[in-house]
Every structure is written in C-alpha cells, then in structure tokens.
Structure 1
Amino acid sequence: MGDSQTPWLVSRILVTWVELVVVGFGGTALGGAVSGPPELIVYFATVLVSVAVLLYNVDQLIQQRLAADTAG
C-alpha cells in the first residue's frame, strides 16, 4: 500500500463521516417529529441507512484498491 492510496482513503473516510452525520441528523429530526411506533420505525430505518452507507463506502474502497492493483 503506497502513498498514492492515502488520499483516496482519507477522502472516503471524510465522505463516509459526512454521510453518517447527515443520516443521523435526518433520523433525529424525523424521530423527534413523531412519537410512538413510527419513532421506532424511523430509528430502525436510520440504523439501516447508516449500515448501508458504511458498506457502500467500504465497497468503493475495495473497488478502488482492486482497480489500482490490476492497473499497476
């Protein structure tokens, strides 16, 4: 793993962090607007979207790494 991978990693970490913050604030806003069972559904949806964001960004890092290994 060379230094050429570091900017991609730092960039992807920053993008992931921003996406998770947006999802968290969105889930908090929606959860605060409702109460009862819909609040639980919003909580579960927020958790699902957070996991999806993490998995998507890990997948992007793996694809970039594989593309760099096959190209060079």
Structure 2
Amino acid sequence: ELDRDMVFAAMNRSKTSWYGGYYQTGERDNRYVSLGVENNDPFESVDAMLSSGFAQNSLNVYYPLLKNLETLS
C-alpha cells in the first residue's frame, strides 16, 4: 500500500517534469505518455494518482532498477 503523504511529496517534487516549465515541455505533452495515462491527469490530486495506477506502475518499473543500481566510480 502506498502512503498518501509519500505520494503527495513525490508528486510535488516531480510536477515540473510532468507539466514542464517556461523553456521545456512536460512529459504530459509526450503523445506516448499521454496514451499511457489515457489523457487523464494523474497529477490532479493524490486520489487521481493512486486510482490511475500511475504511481504503482512507476514503482513496478523503477524500483528494480534503483534497487540494483551500481554506482560507477
């Protein structure tokens, strides 16, 4: 079960990447990403993020990668 406070904190840290900024487009404008979220905005609220499956899918993809990350020095 994902903790709502942790999801909220993660959402706030990643909103710039999702929405974009003055000089960059956000991930939401990528047509392939848009297909993956079915044109719904998972960053609308914590409930939207949790019900969309976006957070869980992100964990499924990135957790194994981060868990097995080897730093090169």
Q: TM-score, normalised by structure 1?
A: 0.31
Higher relative contact order (CA 8 A, sep 6+): 1
Larger Rg over CA atoms: 1
